[in-house]
Amino acid sequence: MITSHLGFPRIGEQREWKKALEQFWAGKWDESEFRFEMERIQQRHLMESVQGGIDLIPVGDFTYYDHMLDMAVMFGMVPKRFGHPGGAVTLDTYFAMARGNEQATACEMTKWMNTNYHYLVPEIGEGEPYLAENKPLQAYRFAKARAGVEGKPVIVGLYSFLKLSKGYAADSFSQKISSFLPVYVEMLRQLEAEGVKWVQIDEPCLVWESSVADQAYVREIYEAIATQVPGIQVMLQTYFEAVDNLHDLLQLPVHGVGLDFIHDRGVHLQALKEIAWPQDKWLGAGLIDGRNIWRADLTEKLKWIETICNHVPKDKVILQPSCSLLHVPVTTRNEDALEPMIQGALAGAREKLQELNILRDACNKGTSSVEKPLWESKEALQQFRSLAGRHRPDTAAELAGLDVRHVTRSASFAVRHRLQAEKWQLPTLPTTTIGSFPQTPEVRRARRLWRKGEWRDDQYEAFVNEQIEACIRTQEEIGLDVLVHGEFERTDMVEFFGEKLAGFVFTKNGWVQSYGSRCVKPPIIYGDVAFTEAMTVKETQFAQSITSRPVKGMLTGPVTILNWSFVRNDLSSEQVANQIALALRKEVEALEANGIEMIQVDEPALREGLPLKASRQELYLEWAVRAFRLVTSVVRDTTQIHTHMCYCDFHDMIPSIEALDADVISIETSRSHGELIEHFETYAYKLGIGLGVYDIHSPRVPEVKEMTAMINRALQLLNPRLFWINPDCGLKTRGWPETIEALKHMVEAAHQARAELQTPTR
């Protein structure tokens, strides 16, 4: 029995990767300095696995931005708007595809399956693929030369790559396989010629419910690989869910199949009992949770391994995490500010590698060889489970007193819309933003000084109020109709609320990558969640007191807080979401009681939690919608509820979005080049809606005509009386000059659109 893993966090223990990217983007390093530093980080990245005692080490899980972007440029899939002449892609073009530039908008960004990692969506188009450069081969050579590692190249499978790409008609999928397969095979042939023994081919889309045609496509791909590249052993890797057709998958001509035993709901262990595992095939057994931060119950895992080895030869089992460790922090060893019993229950990527080694040694050498670490693991979990604060009778009693199945606003949207229009007297096509404004170095420094105790509370509050007032004046000068306070007191949109609610704890360095250089530090929900005091009233009330225009209260919704946290694993997601919703409901009541009557409850991660199996999605959406309505249904009819969603494929859940019953929803559509608009041709959305008219994750400032074109396209399908104009996301990552210029363009585009509608402004 040996160990492996599917990928390690690329950001580094001190986020060195993020800092290198931002130094280069800021022009502080030239390309040679940047590449030198990235190679140093990549070498250290490899040494994590070497020092972690892993037997079969992945290579190619390191990237300069995103693994799907790497696949696209490897196959020459560069959209025409970037002016790429062919051949290997330059670093400038690579990052232009990721972030956009003055000449071209960035590629679309969306969630990687049901995680909070965002990938760049390849645009296939009509171009013919070619092998511009062999990135897995480069990674293999680098690992061998710089770390002495005989690596296992990690490659996105062709089936999943095409399924997760865009730019071609659904009925041409077979043709795309035919055009890409020879190039894919050539890439593998070069690995074979180099002497590569194992490749890990990631096929996450195989956990989706598949058609007969899809299964035929997969057979075509892997039969071609087996025939044309016979010298390489292929580990066909799945994760995030159970594989339904495991028997059929085992008939493919591959040398091993990797399965997720954590998020499969027990399906795979049961399947092993019912099928005859081929004696010549390896099993990659994903027994350590690659998506959550909790320490594994190693005694339980050993029982699972015993069951597995009753059906799979022990010498054909590879112990590994359930998925790439990209989704957890590098380590939790430095979190000494946490209560010891909580810290002892946590495991980052480094600790999860140690857990794999303990399990391997227990199986190969006997449990007596690892008696101490097994005892330490058991003791740590027992202490954590008995921790005070894990269970709150008051929270349970309050939820028991609410009928969460029937939470609705007191009046229909039609009635509310009329009352709100009379109250607010906004112009047609009102303009607003999503909530946050630039978090400058001065803002971050002030927060850091306050957290360290070097600034008094009143000193920090005065600073924040200065920022809020400047932000309000800027919005007034730009001409926005509905304002926000700017969120200068907040770090992360989930962390901020978690710090003020019971049931959460926080790490100092528990960073994970969300997209590009954007890293987040997910809160840890270790116990029952409860409201303790008002969280947003003071700043919002101050902002409203200095302007005559409406100011939105800004909250993060219960499902997003759930999905963007490391969540306790002893309750269902629905139970935890309802606890969060109950706490946020009290905050909404506090805002309204203090005169804030526009309240935005953001749910950007609503789709992220959507089960990958279509058969389980309806149930999830039902309780997710209920949790949102539990927060918002308590307000008066004249109080306007907003929400926001971004960077997901929403077209198939518009009815559920409408069921949220928010008075206004803003949805990202600029980065996907307005494709969501097409879906309103067949679905008449009846509530207020704003489709983001420009991409805030790119440094480019779009011209007025670009925004006007987006607005006019949307107004062909949406009611102008219900349409709002806004950016596609919050502005915290942008600088002030580009923010102001872009918002001025947006307001001008709104004015032009109003004029075309021949509707007088106020």
**Binding site for 5-methyltetrahydropteroyltri-L-glutamate: what residues are annotated?**
15-18, 111, 518-519, 564, 608
183 near 227, Cβ under 8 Å?
no
- What is the rounded distance in angstroms from the CA atom of residue 68 to the CA atom of residue 124? 12
Strands 58-59 and 152-156: parallel
> How buried is residue 329: exposed, middle or buried, by Cβ count under 10 Å (0-12/13-18/19+)?
buried
- 22 Ramachandran zone, left/alpha/beta (phi>0; psi -120 to 50): alpha
- Can you tell me the distance from the alpha carbon of 289 to that of 260, in angstroms, rounded to the nearest whole number? 9
Q: Are the beta carbons of 390 and 527 closer than 8 angstroms?
A: yes
If one counts every other C-beta atom within 10 angstroms of the C-beta of residue 476, the result is 14
Q: Can you tell me the distance from the alpha carbon of 249 to that of 214, in angstroms, rounded to the nearest whole number?
A: 12
CB atoms within 10 A of CB 591: 25
DSSP helix/strand/coil, 373? helix
Please give the sequence-ordered ranges of beta strands (E in DSSP) within 604-660, or none if there are none.
640-645
Q: State the greatest distance between any 2 C-alpha atoms of the chain, in Å, as a whole number.
A: 82
Tokens of 272: 């092993």
Read off the DSSP letter of residue 277: -
Tell me how far apart the alpha carbons of residues 238 and 257 are, in angstroms, rounded to a whole number.
8
Rounded to an integer, what distance in angstroms lies between the CA atom of residue 296 and that of residue 376?
Answer: 12
Torsion of CA 143, 149, 152, 156, to 10 degrees: -20
Over the Cα atoms of the chain, what is R_g? 26
Catalytic residue IDs: 697
Residue 397 sits at φ, ψ, to 5 deg, of -70, -40
Residue 423 CB-density burial (10 A; 0-12 exposed, 13-18 middle, 19+ buried): middle
- Determine phi and psi for 529, rounding to 5 degrees: -90, 140
Binding residues for Zn(2+): 644, 646, 668, 729
Contacts of 140 (CB under 8 A, 6+ apart): 59, 60, 151, 153, 191, 194, 196
Q: How far apart are CA 363 and CA 522, in angstroms?
A: 34
What are the tokens at 706? 């670009």
Strands (E), 58-209: 58-59, 109-111, 118-120, 152-156, 198-202
Instruction: Give per-residue burial for 359-390: e unless 16+ CB within 10 Å, then b.
Output: bbbbbeeeeeebeebbeebeebbeebeeeeee
**What counts of helices (H) and strands (E) characterise the chain?**
26, 21
| Residues that constitute the known binding site | 15-18, 111, 434-436, 487, 518-519, 564, 602, 608, 644, 646, 668, 729
- Core vs surface per residue 490-517: b (16+ CB within 10 A) or e: bbbbbbbbbebbbbbbbbebbbbbbbbb
Look at the block and give the residue holding tokens 């390191």: 62
Phi, psi torsion values for 288, nearest 5 degrees: -110, 130
User: Which residue, 432, 495, 473, 460, is CA-closest to 736?
Assistant: 473
How would you label 308-319 residue by residue, b for 16+ Cβ within 10 Å and e otherwise?
A: bbeebeeebbbb
SS (H, E, C) 692-756: CCCCCCCCCCCCHHHHHHHHHHHHCCCCHHHEEECCCCCCCCCCHHHHHHHHHHHHHHHHHHHHH
**CB–CB of 645/665 below 8 Å?**
yes
The order of strands in the sheet holding 553-556 is 553-556, 598-602, 640-645, 664-667, 688-691, 723-724
